[in-house]
Amino acid sequence: MSWQAIDRKSAPADEGPGLSDAVKEKIRAFFPRYETKRAVMLPALHVAQEAIGYISVRAMKDIAELLELPPSAVMDVVTFYTHYWTHPRGEKVLMVCRSLSCQLMGADKLQHAIETKLGIKDHETTPDGKFSFMTEECLAACDHAPCLMVNERMHKRVTPEQLDKLLADADSDKLPMPRSDLYDAPHGEKPARGH
């Protein structure tokens, strides 16, 4: 099956961390680029997630206040996209493609190897906060199936036998090219990983 619904896990009982003044300022800096504050929703969520590691309930409320929207409008968007997390992510997020080409070329075996090795399932994080795992629709490199992304870095034609080496590689998520820091957290803010 090339599509499946994900149980995104329910939000934690406490509201989690809110946004710092620096993060709010970074979000406000997007306002002049768009005709409405609502249009800043996706950049705001990216910045928030980079700052605190996920989108907490408190962060959703802070963003709603900044964009002058009801909190439910923010939660609507957060829960629509798989790349926004409502609970903490690991330092590295492993994304296995679950679309047709990758499935035909063994992505399910790769998924099984990751789940077995790390002891976690889709959208879960290891207890040490180092790794999270998720499946994702086509990663746009079908001719190199099966594909796996580690954070923003694509790995092609990945086999279960390569998994140990990949997990041990500290640079497995490093892009071999300059990257945009447009949506990164303000300088000095570190995500609260794995809590």
The answer to whether the beta carbons of residues 150 and 173 sit under 8 Å apart is: yes
Considering the complex, what minimum distance in angstroms separates the CB of residue 156 from ligand FES? 9
What angle, 0 to 180 degrees and rounded to 10, lies between the N-to-C axes of helices 21-28 and 41-52? Answer: 150
Q: Which stretch binds ligand FES (CB under 6 A): 25-33, 45-53, 69-77, 95-103?
A: 95-103
Considering the complex, what minimum distance in angstroms separates the CB of residue 109 from ligand FES? 14
Considering the complex, what minimum distance in angstroms separates the CB of residue 102 from ligand FES? 3
Considering the complex, what minimum distance in angstroms separates the CB of residue 178 from ligand FES? 24
Q: Is 102 left (phi over 0), alpha (psi -120 to 50) or beta?
A: alpha
Q: What is the C-alpha separation between 10 and 146, in angstroms, rounded?
A: 30
Q: Which stretch binds ligand FES (CB under 6 A): 7-15, 93-101, 110-118, 159-167?
A: 93-101
Considering the complex, what minimum distance in angstroms separates the CB of residue 165 from ligand FES? 21
Nearer to ligand FES, 97 or 114 (CB): 97
Among 101, 111, 125, 132, binds ligand FES (CB under 6 A): 101
The answer to whether the beta carbons of residues 104 and 1 sit under 8 Å apart is: no
Nearest C-alpha neighbor of 184 from the set 50, 28, 25, 30: 50
DSSP character string of 138-194: --S-GGG-S-EEETTEEE-S--GGGHHHHHH-TTTT--SS----TTSPSTT----TT
3-state helix, strand, coil in the chain (%, to 5): 40, 10, 50
Among 49, 56, 86, 99, binds ligand FES (CB under 6 A): 99
Nearer to ligand FES, 59 or 102 (CB): 102
Nearer to ligand FES, 3 or 188 (CB): 3
Q: Which stretch binds ligand FES (CB under 6 A): 41-49, 63-71, 99-107, 127-135?
A: 99-107
Of 111-170, binders to ligand FES (CB under 6 A) are: 138-142, 145, 147
Binding site for ligand FES (CB under 6 A): 97, 99-102, 138-142, 145, 147
